[in-house]
Every structure is written in C-alpha cells, then in structure tokens.
Structure 1
Amino acid sequence: AKMAGSFVLNTGARMPSVGLGTWQIDPDVVGDAIYAAVKAGYRHIDCAPVYRNEKQVGFALKKLFEDGVVKREDLFITSKLWSGDHAPEDVPEAIGTTLKDLQLDFLDLFLIHAPIRIKKGTTPSHENILPPDIPATWEAMEKLYDSGKARAVGVSSFSCKKIEDLLAIARVPPAVNQVECHLIWQQDKLQKLCHSRGVHISVRLDHLYLGSAGLSSLAILLSSLLLRSCRRRLLKLPYAGVFKWVRVYFQKAPMKQGLRRTLTYLSGPFLKI
C-alpha cells in the first residue's frame, strides 16, 4: 500500500501527513472504514470522544493488529480532550476512558479539543459555558506527556492570541494546533506564528471529502475556475491543488472506494512544502 509522507513534530516524533478523520462517521461503519483505510496505506487516525465512535474505532484497531495488517508502532493515533473535561482532575480520567475505548496503552497525540470550557456532562450552549482556565488544563496535559500516556500534546482551534498565551506559560509546548484552514480561510498569520514557534499546523476539513461538499462556501470553492484550472494543469482532482500548501489533511471518508485514490492524490509532492 502506498503511504503518505510525514512531518516531524517538536517532540521529534513523525506525524503522517494524511489522516483519516472519524467525525460524523456512523459507529456502524467506522470500523470498516478504518480497516479499509489502513489497508490502503493510511497511518494516521484522528478520533475524539465527542464523535461517539471511539469504541468502534478500538475494535477496528484491535482487529488490524490481530490480523497482522499493521503493528501499533506503525500507526499515529490522535484523540482529544472534550470541553466538559477541562478541570485538571478530569483530564486523567478523560484520557483513561479514551485509551480504554480505543484499546490502546498510549496516544501519539492528545489535543485540547477547543479553547472553550463547559459544565461536565453537558452540551455546548450558552448556559453551560464556564470561564476557561487553560493554564490549569495544560498543566494536567503536561502530566499526561510526562507519564507517556500521550506522546505529544497539543491544541485545536486556538487563535494567535491563545497560542501566544499558552506558550508563555507552557513547560511542554504544544506540538500541534489543529485548525480549519483552506483557500477561503488561509489563516496566514496563525500559520506564520505557529511555524515560528515550532507548533505544527494540522488542517481539519471535516466538511470536504471526495464526493461531497458539506458547506455551500466550500462547494463554491471546489467548483471555482481556479480549481478547475489547477485540475487541468495538474491532471489531478481539484483537491490536490487545494492541499499543495496544507500541513496535514484529515479526510472524512464514509466510503471505502475513495480511500486509496485520495491517499495517492494527497501524497507525494502535493504535501512537500
């Protein structure tokens, strides 16, 4: 199977440049999708408790290991700390639940899912929002890094200001900031800041995958003359032109048949930046 390239994090670890995102993949099919993806060459799986399918992901990983398709060290597994678990005492319990569900001993990367804190056990809504205490939460994340349960720690959806504030107090700097980033919203300032401080930008595009465009703005983007021109010149899908400047792409893949093709299009020179 063809495998994508990788990027070196500030921990020294290598993170595969193409990842399979599991957001909004039905629990009944996510296992088959992961099994097919790994057989096709994917080595990075992106999960989160709020996606409500980590147990099924865990069953798929266990089967992959038992069938000899890959070993644990061949995969890079990311999960996230939900906004209701920001209290320092809740952080170890949260990763413990994730590790149990995924049937793993450690995560390659554990992210603060969002810089927003809500009451434990509630859903994101105005009445459930609490004042965040990122320094306290981050200290608990650092302890997970120290323990080896998370071999790298990072954040998601952090702005320039939030990244700067975190770096000012962090003993262990974040390895990754996973954000939405595309031609419509390129986030140049954030990219430059993170690059200058050794924080890897990981691009999340959950609404964009082969055969679908979940947002009207992205539908317009994909059908634009610019991308059609890129497609003609590159003899690739328009996605390849989009992601030439991207750091890491998480493909949400609800169907097996596009996995290998997408990996091919998003590998090689298109992610060598």
Structure 2
Amino acid sequence: MRSINQVRLNNGLTIPVIGMGTYSFENDRKTTENAVQMALKMGYNHFDTAQVYGSEPALGNALREAITNGTTEREAVFVTSKLWGSHHHDPVSALKRTLMNLGMEYVDMYLVHWPVSLKPWVFHPLPEEDDFEQLDMETTWAGMEKCLEMGLCRGIGVSNFSCKKIESLLDFASVTPAVNQVEMHPMWRQRKLRDYCRDHKIHVSAYSALGGPGNFWGSTAVVESPIIQSIALKHKATPAQVALRWGLSKGASVIVKSFNEERLKENMGALDLRLEENDIIEIEKMEERKIMRGEFYVNQTTSPYKTIQELWDDEI
C-alpha cells in the first residue's frame, strides 16, 4: 500500500494531501461503504464527511470494518467532519452525535461547515428563508474549542470562510483554526485567501478540486478546459491529475469525491505528476469562476448576508 504525502498543521497534526470526499445524496450506504473500502486498499487515508451529507454512518462502518480486519489502524486514517448550521448553539452535542454516527471516539478535524446559523430542526442542505438564525461565531467557536478540550476531536477549523471572516474569528479565538476548507481549483484559484491563510499558518484544504462534476451544483468546466487538457496531453496525464497537481503545488490538500475505482486510482496518480513552471503560468491565465456560490445562504430578510458579496466579503 502506498503512503500518501502529508502536510503538518499549526497544531502539530499531519493531514494527508489527497482526501476522499463522501458527499453524495444519490448513493446508498452500501455503495459508500464499498467505495471507502476500495479507497483504503489503494492507500487513501484521509476521508471527508459532514453530518448534512448523511455519509457518516457508512464511512464509520467501512473504517471500523477495515480496522477490525487489519487493513488499517485508527491512527493511520484522518477523518474530517463538519458542524452543520443547525447545531451552532451546541457544537459539543453535534460532535457527539457525529461520533455516534461514525462509531468512533474522536475525529481528527472538526470544521464549522459554513458561517451560517440555522434553526435547530433544519437538516437539509438548501435552507429556506425562514430557516436562518442570528450568527454568533463567538459562541460557536467557544463550543468548537470545548470539543477540542474534551478530546472529541484532535483539531478544529472552518470551511467557506473569507479572509475577513477568519480575521474577525481571530479577534476572539483562543485556538487558531488549523484548516480552512474552501472551493479551490484551476478556475477558482483563491490567491488572496491562500496568502492570508499562509500568513496565519492556517492550512487550505480544497473541496471541488476538480470543479465538482457530478454534483448538483458542480461543473465539468475545469477538466474540459483546453489549457488543462493541453497540459495533460503534454505530460501523458489526465486533466483531473493536472487539476489536482496544481492544487497540491499550491500547498493545499485536495478533497475529491469519486466512488469509481478507475477514477480513485487516477486521482491518486496526481501525486506522481510534476508540473513545469510554464504549466502553472498557463493555468494562471484561465478565467476565474466560482462554482459553489452559496446563493441559498443569501436573502433580504433573515440571512446575515443580503448579497453574495457579503457572504464572501467581495472575494468573488
């Protein structure tokens, strides 16, 4: 089994640079379990889930089975889950529920999924106008720090946070986020955010590292880009490998969701690819376009964000 490259975080933990995403509303539990077990055999040891994905029980089951039969050990896998908006008032209870779903004693990383607070009964990913509550990140982050203190997780971080939102979090945080997981790929390069996070020793983890093809909001524009395809041809690689290698070259870890055996292998091949300086220059010429814009978190009455620009603090 091949060991995956790791990056050291600001809390001393190491995070494997290629992760398997388990976000999937169309796949049943057994399909997810089989895909995770297949990924483990290929050398994947970083798995990303969230309570709202509904994949925690399947991921936990697959990992527990692999640990029991000796395929892996708990210490050898890095598991990330996320606090959904409806649990901002009580991250400790939310993480205890996640751990029950996973059948684990701790997760390696627990992230605030979005800078959005929802009413306690809202468990669907696309909130409606009357589902929002006032956001109080100070209370939320105190709860996240409590999770860490109690040993329910080994690290805490955020997801979908702009530079400005991290800056205001750092005003009151006792613990600096270890990770900011955001959309990042050759068509949404996040230069400003990467620079800011680097200056504050916060690791950037890239979701939709291929543009999210196959998701209801995703796009094939990244892998179909003539620039990406031309670089792939030159290196006898695939467009997906080029896109992932670009993310890795920027110091990010990349989360890729695929339950397909060939694509899982292909994604892992990004570790062997080396891009030339000229390839990176060509990628920098690509027109930028954010794919996951989060329009469903914006409204004029109940959301803290009246416009897309407010949600992303003009980083869009």
TM-score computed with the length of structure 1 as normaliser: 0.92
Query: Quick check: 213-222 or 16-25, which moved more?
Result: 213-222
Match of 2:309 in 1: none
Paired residue total: 267
Q: How does 1:105-144 map to 2 (within 5 A)?
A: 105-122=105-122, 123=124, 124-144=127-147
One-letter amino acid of the structure 2 residue matched with residue 239 of structure 1: A
Report how far residue 35 of structure 1 moved: 0.6
1:256 corresponding residue in structure 2? 261
Identity of matched residues, %: 33
1:75 is aligned, of 64, 74, 77, to: 77
* Alpha-carbon spacing, 1:99–1:214, altered in 2? closer, same or farther (3 Å): closer
Q: Which moved more, 1:123-132 or 1:175-184?
A: 123-132
Give 1:3's aligned residue.
3
Which moves more between the two structures, 190-199 or 243-252? 243-252
Gaps (5+ residues) in structure 2?
281-316
Segments of 4+ moved more than 3 angstroms: 206-209, 212-218, 266-270
Please report how far the alpha carbon of residue 26 of structure 1 lies from its aligned counterpart in structure 2 after TM superposition: 3.2
Match in the other structure for 1:168:
171
Residue aligning to 2:231: 230
Contact 1:176 1:199 in 2 (8 A): yes
Does structure 2 retain, via aligned residues, the 8 Å contact 1:41–1:260?
A: no
- RCO comparison, higher one (Cα < 8 Å, 6+): 1
| 16 and 217 in structure 1: CA distance in 2 versus 1, 3 angstrom threshold | closer
> Cα offset for 1:190?
0.7
Q: What is the root-mean-square deviation in Å for CA atoms of aligned residues?
A: 2.0
Counterpart contact for 2:61–2:103, Cα < 8 Å: yes
CA deviation map 1:7-35 (0-9, x unaligned): 11000110000000000143231000101
Instruction: Tell me the distance in 1 between the aligned counterparts of 2:188 and 2:242.
Output: 15
Q: 1:213 to 1:121 in 2, by over 3 A?
A: closer
1:219 and 1:59 mapped to 2: Cα distance? 31
C-alpha separation in 2, matches of 1:268 and 1:207: 16
Distance in structure 2 (CA, Å) of the matches to 1:17 and 1:152: 16
Q: Give 3-state SS (helix, strand or coil) of 1:120's partner.
A: coil
CA contact (8 A) 1:3 1:263 kept: no
**Amino acid of the structure 2 residue aligned with 1:253:** S
Residue 187 in structure 1 maps to residue 195 in structure 2: no
1:219 and 2:220 matched: yes
Contact in 2 for aligned 1:2/1:264 (Cα 8 Å)? no
Shift of 1:249: 1.1
Counterparts in 2 of 1:37 and 1:208: CA distance versus 1, 3 Å: farther
Find the aligned partners of 2:215 and 2:271 in 1 and give their Cα distance: 20
Find out whether 1:23 has 2:37 as its counterpart.
no
